[in-house]
Amino acid sequence: MATLELYSKGANVWVPDPDAVWVSAQLLQDYRSGEKHLLLQLSNGNEVHYPVGSPSDLPPLGNPDILEGENDLTALSFLHEPAVLHNLRVRFLDYSSIYTYCGIVLVAINPYDQLPIYGEEVIDAYSGQDMADMEPHIFSVAEEAYRTMIRSGKNQSIIISGESGSGKTVSAKFTMRYFAVVGGAAQQTSVEERVLASNPIMESIGNAKTTRNDNSSRFGKYIEIGFGRKGDIIGANMRTYLLEKSRVVFQVN
């Protein structure tokens, strides 16, 4: 909980909204301990009295304008739900960026469109670079894992998770494409295609229609990629298959 001194006149806060989830508001007067409401002005100009039963009921504080659109969420002064959602929205709409860091975690927004940010020229730009020196990208995460594996000689893992339709399969494909190019695979264009070639078979019995995705994967898979001593890909296979039987109940005719 932020200190009460921060809730002074002119401070920005976030208040719940039934339509927009969160909306920005500005304090019109200082908050003093024991007061039962805040006088706020919403972004649309309306003034409202926000109820405050105790200091724990105070709305989340907004971040300074200078931090708007930060490429790493951990750099925000206040890290909470409205701050995260707003920052992701700004980066997506104003910066045309679907990727944002949160420490070592990469947050991705599915644009539901083809973007020209996965070509070999982009792979070359991220190859050999540190995560901190580059804009957030799935290639940066792949590069970090690849270089750590080469330096330490130890296995590395990349966990790709998300809700139905978030783009997990496509992210896995781009990751493998990166490894194929920087690892100098003999057949760079087919490595990820070979690994994912088993998808249609698994999807025929392991996919289901959801409210957000007509072809949602109901299974989990662990893809293992083998590298040679020089960092080149020498093989790959699907290690684990977990069918979510409870949600695959019948086949649609």
Tell whether residue 128 is among the known ligand binding residues. no
What lies within 8 Å, CB to CB, of 67 at 6+ separation is: 75, 76, 77
Tell whether residue 166 is among the known ligand binding residues. yes
Taking the C-alpha atoms of residue 184 and residue 175, their distance in angstroms, rounded to an integer, is 14
Tell whether residue 144 is among the known ligand binding residues. no
Tell whether residue 162 is among the known ligand binding residues. yes
Tell whether residue 193 is among the known ligand binding residues. no
Tell whether residue 163 is among the known ligand binding residues. yes
Tell whether residue 169 is among the known ligand binding residues. yes
Taking the C-alpha atoms of residue 105 and residue 117, their distance in angstroms, rounded to an integer, is 19
Taking the C-alpha atoms of residue 243 and residue 177, their distance in angstroms, rounded to an integer, is 26
DSSP string, 172-190: HHHHHHHHHHHTT-TTTTT
Tell whether residue 167 is among the known ligand binding residues. yes
3-state secondary structure of 123: helix
The neighbouring-strand residues paired with 101 are 72, 106
Binding annotation:
162-169
Binding annotation for ATP:
162-169
